[in-house]
Amino acid sequence: MSKLLEDIVGELSRLPGIGRRTALRLSMHILRMEAGSVERMAEAIARFRTEIRYCTRCNNLSDTDICPICRDGERDRTIVCVVEQVGDVLSIENTRQYKGLYHVLGGVISPMQGIGPSDLKIDLLLDNIARGEIKEVILALSTTVEGETTLFYISRRLAQHPDLKVTSIARGIGFGDEIEYADELTIAHAIHNRIPL
Residues making contact with Zn ion (CB under 5 A): 55, 57-58, 60, 67, 70
Longest dimension (CA), the chain: 66
According to DSSP H, which parts of the chain are helical? 3-12, 20-32, 35-51, 68-71, 86-95, 122-130, 145-158, 184-192
**What minimum distance in Å lies between the beta carbon of 2 and Zn ion?**
45
Those residues with Cβ within 8 angstroms of residue 51's Cβ, 6 or more apart along the chain or in another chain: 63
The C-alpha atoms of residue 24 and residue 26 are separated, in whole angstroms, by: 5
* Closest approach of Zn ion to the CB of residue 167, in Å: 21
Q: Indicate the residue among 60 and 91 with the shorter CB distance to Zn ion.
A: 60
Question: Which of 11, 72 has the CB closer to Zn ion?
Answer: 72
What is the C-alpha separation between 139 and 197, in angstroms, rounded?
Answer: 9
* Nearest distance from C-beta of residue 48 to Zn ion, angstroms: 18
Residue 141, phi then psi, degrees to nearest 5: -110, 155
Q: In the complex with Zn ion, which residue's Cβ is closer, 69 or 197?
A: 69
| CB 54, min distance to Zn ion, A | 9
Beta carbon nearer to Zn ion, 27 or 60: 60
Strand 76-83 and strand 136-139: pairing?
A: parallel
Decide whether 58 or 141 has the Cβ nearer to Zn ion: 58
CB of 155 to Zn ion, least distance (A): 22
Rounded to 5°, angle at Cα 83 from 77 and 85: 120
